[in-house]
Amino acid sequence: MPIQTAYSTKPLPDAVTELRSKLDPGAQVVLFFASAGYDAAALSRQMQDAFPDACVAGCSAAGEIAQCRMLTGSVAAMSLDSETVEDASAVVVENLRSGIDLRAAFEKFENHFQSAASTWDVAKYVGLVLIDGLSGAEERFLEKLGDTTDVFFVGGSAGDDLRFEATEVCAGGKASTDSAVLVLLRLRRDFTIVKTQSFRQFGKSLTATAVDEARRTVIEFDYRPAIEAYAEALGVLQDEAVSHFSRHPLGLMVEGEPFVRSPQKAHGGSIVFYCQIKQGMELEVLEATDIVADTRRAIEKEKAGPHPIAGLIDFQCILRTLQLRNENRCDQYGAIFAGIPNVGFSTYGEAYLGHLNQTSTMLLFR
């Protein structure tokens, strides 16, 4: 059975029964993303029981995506068949706030795959990463992950329907907070990672000259109070600057591609971001473009590739989702993925080489 997707809005245990009836019972991997309205521990246990032979993992979300629909109050899931995944393993890394140590996780992977991590072919192996979205540990975790392996990991930070109380990651029938789940896949199919964001350069840059990294705060840009320098770059009054945050985040540029850092709030003269900015980083001021048009362009480009898209997982920033909801364009966004088995969720941060904001990171199976 090829890659299957499904969603349910029923309560437990009926939701799991419904998902099981629609997904591949012989799946190698089952991924699920659930509203915070579900008991994550019960859901994780029931999903593992429903697919006892599969590698089962998931997380709580701030909105779910499945079958071209942007959902709320649901469980969205995808099953990956043995034609897609040759082998898979999931590990939980706990206690993120007290330090990140991935040695045990990678030892488990090496034991499972019976090979040294250094030998993993980055064209065959790909990883998924789901992190507690309220841990504040994403940057440290993803940096350590990138130090440890060249295998590409894509994913996002778990959400909780904008309650900001507790987000949970799930694997092996359990759920946990202050944790991350890593799922390592050895694929039979090719894959592509897409990172898309809807911004262009505004023509101004700012250099962080005083920061509080741990608090994701920039105190000064260009040796001036951050909010003052940001407002001047935009040509707006300082009092108005906050209202421009979502349309004008900052981008850490890598060969013309922004890795978006989004301002969250002003705090005195400082700006608190949704991810860390390091001292000395030079950032471009960005200007919003059209999410639907840009995402459609990114997917059409992938559709034009030599192999059809057999499945897609979308880790979509909650800020993008909120904008689409406000503009009543969720249906337009969902329609971009017509004909592609797709699943995903609205995240509290996206993961690809590092921690990102206002971005969609996607894993496409070919």
Partner 1 sequence: MPGQTKRLIDSILERRSKGNPTLFFATKTKLILKGVNPDKYTAESPDDPAMIAKVRAIAAELGVPV
| Binding region for partner 1 (CB under 8 A) | 122, 143, 146-147, 150, 152, 252, 254-255, 259, 278-282, 353-354
In angstroms, the CA 280 to CA 213 distance is 12
Which residue, 24 or 284, is less far from partner 1 as judged by CB? 284
Q: What is the DSSP string of 48-76?
A: HHHSTTSEEEEEEESSEEETTEEESS-EE
Least distance between partner 1 and beta carbon 29 (Å): 24
Which residue, 118 or 326, is less far from partner 1 as judged by CB? 118
Q: How far is CA 110 from CA 87, 91, 117, 153, 191, in A?
A: 12, 12, 6, 16, 22
221 φ, ψ (degrees, to nearest 5): -110, 135
Task: Provide the angle, in degrees to the nearest 10, between the axes of the packed helices 40-50 and 14-22.
Answer: 40
Least distance between partner 1 and beta carbon 353 (Å): 5
Least distance between partner 1 and beta carbon 227 (Å): 22
Which residue, 101 or 282, is less far from partner 1 as judged by CB? 282
Least distance between partner 1 and beta carbon 228 (Å): 23
Least distance between partner 1 and beta carbon 345 (Å): 24
Closest listed residue to residue 86, CA positions, set 190, 169, 156? 190
Which residue, 67 or 207, is less far from partner 1 as judged by CB? 207
Least distance between partner 1 and beta carbon 174 (Å): 30
Which residue, 266 or 351, is less far from partner 1 as judged by CB? 351
Least distance between partner 1 and beta carbon 303 (Å): 21
Which residue, 246 or 279, is less far from partner 1 as judged by CB? 279
In angstroms, the CA 255 to CA 265 distance is 28
* Strand-pair category, 29-35 with 55-61: parallel
Residue 227 · residue 241 · CB < 8 Å: yes
Which residue, 68 or 281, is less far from partner 1 as judged by CB? 281
Q: DSSP letter for 142, please.
A: H
Contacts of residue 103, Cβ cutoff 8 Å, sequence gap at least 6: none
User: What does the angle CA 249 – CA 193 – CA 278 come to, to the nearest 5 degrees?
Assistant: 35
Which residue, 186 or 195, is less far from partner 1 as judged by CB? 195
Least distance between partner 1 and beta carbon 253 (Å): 8
244 φ, ψ (degrees, to nearest 5): -100, 0
